[in-house]
Structure 1
Amino acid sequence: MATEIADGVWRIECRGVNAYLVFDDVPTLVDAGTPWDEETIRRGLDEAGVEVSSIGRVLLTHYDLDHIGTLAALAPDLDAPVRAYRFDAQLLRGARSPPLGNHKGLIQRLGGLLTDLPDLDVVDVRDGEAIGSFTAYHTPGHTPGHVAYVSEELGIGLLGDLVSESDSDLSPSGWLISYDTDAVAASVRDLAERASPFEVACVGHGDPLASGGSEALVALAARI
């Protein structure tokens, strides 16, 4: 199911996780659900009036089973670069494996048994890089290569799993699903300080905030 949560911003509800479609300079898919969400993604794009082949780029907030899951299945029709930050981009290319010495790395290893890597062009993102109207911000902690994207022009923050939403409030990524919760907290504070103001906060888990996104992030940064 796809829902337009703001002008040109569509939420695609997958299995316990959100993907998004943003009409930027090119139609942009943000994250890609679980390996079992191919039909959901395709149907959601269709409801928003976009074919898979029309996607101009994929913005990946991070490498996890529930965010890269459909990329391999979409690849035959998807002719667009996937943008990801260095560590997570290497995981997506198969150039490295998640570390066994970290509990989240072990979870990712297990998830990798259920996930096919896509035959797509994976392009590294740099901190502070402009991609369309978005600026990329390296926000490590949930994963080493987690990245958030903020568009001042569109008033959107793509926050991935840096935070989650519950009862219209934001919470930082917890210990079980994070590489480093101290780094999560530091990334929340850094993003709240550095990013341009935005109204819409698009989160991986929970409901997106249709307004007051920056304020909610700043409030979270102040209390952690």
Structure 2
Amino acid sequence: MKIASGVEMLEISSDVMGMPCVINPTLIWDKDTVILVDAGFPGQLTKIRDSIEHAGVPFNKLSMLILTHHDVDHIGSVSSILRELPNVKVLAHKEEKAYIEGKKCPLKVAKMKDNLDSLPEKMKMVYEKLKAGFEKCKVNVDKTLIDGEKLLCCEGIEIIYTPGHTLGHICLYLKKSKILIAGDILKVENGILAQVSPDINFDMNLNIKSLKKLTEYDIQTVICYHGGLYNEKVNERIAELINE
């Protein structure tokens, strides 16, 4: 779905524990640079390639991957992309680097491991699959990003450090088009902008502070990785969420 000139919200069909869903990586490009923000589950290279080509951008022009955080549904197909396009650069916040590179245990895996004895058998199976999935997703991060950093390509991209969901979660702000690429700090559910479940946030207090930070930006459109597009009085809605 075209959101603005040089901005496309991809719609990638997925299956999570037998439940169909759609995830929404974002493609940003200009004449010199093509950026994919987040890269789906493992095994989704073909769908990602087809979605990029459908947006009118040759897949082999991809030059950069920006990862909002290290969850497996965001980094899952990075290694597959790099096998086909080894010159693509991977960028993420410095707090995410060790997780993406496999030097630290992913937060969700670590939490499940700490409670493994009390988990039901089905969740123990989920733990084993998740752990194995992350093992296959490890890639090197070429450049770390910091809060407030501005990338000069694609008419300007500002990095907003928004910890809470994970320790190094980031959002991207496209000032010219007033678009926020929200990663997992927000979701759209039944057409309404909402917070993701506290159960999958590492630190809810940090998450609220990060939401407050977003109110400093003039946001007209949000692209949520889960739920897609929201563009109805965004700043007012975020303020409501902070006070819920």
Displacement after TM superposition at 1:154 (Å): 2.6
Conserved in 2, the CA contact under 8 Å of 1:141 and 1:178?
yes
Contact 2:90–2:143 (8 Å) recurs in 1:
yes
Q: Given the superposition, is the C-alpha separation of residues 109 and 146 from structure 1 closer, same or farther in structure 2, using an over 3 Å criterion?
A: farther
Pair 1:42–1:86, CA change in 2 (3 A): same
Q: Distance in 2 between matches of 1:199 and 1:137?
A: 16
Change (3 A) 1:198 1:43: same
Give runs of aligned pairs for residues 100-179 of structure 1, distance below 5 A: 102-103=111-112, 111-115=130-134, 116-117=136-137, 119-132=139-152, 133-179=156-202
In the TM superposition, residue 219 of structure 1 has moved relative to its aligned partner by 3.5
Task: Report deviation, 1:200.
Answer: 1.9
Check 1:20–1:122 CA distance in 2 against 1; reply closer, same or farther (3 A cut).
Answer: same
Q: Could you tell me whether the CA contact under 8 Å between 1:6 and 1:210 is conserved in 2?
A: no
Count residues with an aligned counterpart. 219
User: What is the deviation of 1:122?
Assistant: 2.9
Contact 1:65 1:108 (C-alpha < 8 Å) held by counterparts: no
Between the aligned residues of both structures, percent identity stands at 26
Superposition deviation, residue 218 in structure 1: 3.4
2: distance between equivalents of 1:49 and 1:217?
Answer: 33
User: 1:42, CA displacement in angstroms?
Assistant: 0.6
Equivalent position SS for 2:214? helix
Q: Pick closer, same or farther for the CA change 1:85–1:5 going to 2, 3 Å.
A: same
Who is 1:86 aligned against?
Answer: 94
User: Which residue of 1 is the match for residue 36 of structure 2?
Assistant: 29
Q: Is the 8 A contact 1:172 1:188 kept in 2?
A: no
TM-score normalised over the length of structure 1: 0.86
Which of 3, 6, 9 aligns to 1:5? It is 3
Root mean square deviation of aligned Cα: 2.5
Change (3 A) 1:169 1:192: same
Detail structure 1 runs of 4+ shifted over 6 Å in the superposition.
Answer: 104-109
Q: Which blocks of at least 5 consecutive residues in structure 1 are unaligned? A: none
TM (norm. structure 2) is 0.80
Query: SS of the counterpart of 1:40?
Result: helix
Cα deviation for residue 61 of structure 1 reads 0.8
Matched AA of 2:3: I
Find the aligned partners of 2:149 and 2:78 in 1 and give their Cα distance. Answer: 23
Asked if the contact 1:59–1:84 (Cα under 8 Å) also holds between the matched residues in 2, the reply is: yes
AA in 2 matched with 1:129: E
Contiguous gaps of at least 5 residues in structure 2: 15-20, 116-125
User: Alignment partner for residue 60 of structure 1, among 64, 67, 90?
Assistant: 67
Find the residue that maps to 1:97 and give its secondary structure: coil
